[in-house]
Amino acid sequence: MKTTYLSLGSNVGDREGNLRAAIEQLSRVGRVLAVSSFYETEPVELKDQAWFLNCVVELETEMSAAELLDALLSIERAMGRERIQAKGPRNIDIDILLCGDAVIDEKGLKVPHPAMHRRRFVLAPLAEIAPDAIHPVFKRSARELLEGLPEGDVVRKS
């Protein structure tokens, strides 16, 4: 069993309902150990869209990172996710942040998530439920990474 951390986000439709439905679906791929508070967050890269609701889930699973990614993409599809515009609006987005202490750099699968250390909307909920989770490349905890971010993007508990 591996402890993984997933980032979930939604900015289309019933954002909270979308997150809760996705969290419920995660029980098919492992055991949900913890769920952060929900955070309302300003869009980061593509600014001209609705604000997101984000959270982080701690999941224990026997799946490899590749199997987990396939399962997460299946959940997104089953929930009606359409990939129309990169970084654009979406009813659900589920990303693997950390998968044990694995470092994976393959086409379509990068663990740890390559931008997580720069994203307050990821680090705030991660630090809430796993402040001592270590980034296997930077060797810094979620709390340390969050504290090292410059002021900027708006992230507030919902």
Catalytically active residues, by annotation: 81, 90, 93, 95
- Residue 8: its H or E element: strand 2-10
Helices (H), 4-157: 15-25, 65-78, 120-129, 142-147
For residue 14, give every residue at least 6 positions away whose Cβ sits within 8 Å of its Cβ, in sequence order, or none. Answer: none
Helices (H), the chain: 15-25, 65-78, 120-129, 142-147
Beta bridge partners of 156: 40
